[in-house]
């Protein structure tokens, strides 16, 4: 994929005053995977659901890796830039105006969402990350994320997204000025129903009209 306007994706406008959920599937998924989750999170919201552009043994992914948990960080950076460009293209193409775009990612999708808010906060300010981790490997981060908000949902026994990396991620976000909500549950990789409820509440809090 060279042009963001040729990126395979699904779009639904939702109601005019609602946010648009940027749905980012996990490894081996498609743009259809998180549609039911979106309905549970914010039924009135619009959605923008692209397909991961990288192929790994026939599976769609968002960036390359050298092995389990060993990311190709140069590719992470490149693909985060592409996703930021896609968001900006979609804003213009679909006339989103000032509607809030909230990324909702699972696993590999959570990681590309996190990389995008870290590296391109002008394009993406809000992220719900299910089973995500710090996406930039051993690289440090010193950007300014004031004005961004991230909700982290992880399992304490998740071998694919170890808590050591999640702890590093939260520290990076906190130090950069992001508004971070974190919830750690029992169990491993996945999306638990209690996390869906909490994420729906968080999304509502991020999109409620300001009191006058």
* Tens digits of residue pLDDT in 81-121: 999 999 999 999 999 999 999 999 999 999 999 999 999 99
In the predicted structure, residue 132 carries a pLDDT above the cut 60: yes
Q: Is 158 a catalytic residue?
A: yes
List 120, 126, 131, 158, catalytic entry: 158
Q: Indicate the pLDDT class of residue 209, thresholds 50, 70 and 90.
A: low
- pLDDT of 211 reads 35
**Rounded to whole angstroms, how far apart are CA atoms 210 and 207?**
9
- Give pairs for 115-119: CB < 8 Å, separation 24+: 115/63, 115/76, 115/77, 115/79, 115/80, 116/80, 116/83, 116/84, 116/87, 117/145, 117/148, 117/150, 117/178, 118/80, 118/143, 118/145, 118/172, 118/176, 119/77, 119/80, 119/81, 119/84, 119/143
SS3 127: strand
Mean pLDDT of the 29-37 span: 98
* Tens digits of residue pLDDT in 58-89: 999 999 999 888 999 999 999 999 999 999 99
List 25, 107, 120, 165, catalytic entry: 107
For the chain, the domains span 4-207
Beta bridge mates, 104: 23, 128
- The pTM of this model reads 0.96
Superfamily of domain 4-207: Alpha/Beta hydrolase fold, catalytic domain (3.40.50.1820)
Q: Is 189 a catalytic residue?
A: yes
Q: Which residues contact 42 (CB under 8 A, 6 or more apart)?
A: 18, 19, 21, 200, 203, 204, 207
Q: Is 12 a catalytic residue?
A: no
């Amino acid at each position: 994929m060279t042009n963001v306007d040729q990126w395979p994706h699904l779009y639904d406008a939702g109601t005019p005053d609602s946010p648009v959920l940027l749905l980012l599937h996990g490894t081996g998924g498609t743009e259809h995977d998180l549609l039911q989750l979106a309905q549970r999170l914010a039924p009135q919201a619009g959605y923008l659901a692209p397909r991961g552009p990288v192929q790994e043994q026939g599976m769609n992914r968002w960036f390359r890796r050298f092995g389990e948990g060993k990311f190709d960080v140069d590719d992470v950076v490149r693909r985060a830039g592409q996703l930021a460009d896609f968001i900006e293209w979609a804003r213009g193409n679909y006339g989103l105006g000032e509607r809030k775009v909230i990324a909702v990612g699972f696993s590999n999708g959570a990681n590309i969402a996190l990389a995008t808010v870290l590296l391109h906060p002008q394009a993406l300010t809000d992220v719900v990350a299910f089973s995500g981790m710090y996406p930039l490997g051993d690289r440090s981060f010193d950007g300014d994320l004031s004005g961004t908000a991230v909700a982290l949902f992880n399992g304490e026994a998740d071998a694919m997204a170890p808590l050591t990396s999640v702890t590093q991620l939260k520290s990076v976000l906190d130090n950069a000025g992001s508004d971070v909500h974190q919830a750690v549950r029992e169990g491993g990789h996945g999306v638990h129903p209690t996390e869906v409820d909490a994420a729906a509440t968080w999304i509502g809090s991020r999109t409620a009209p300001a009191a006058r």
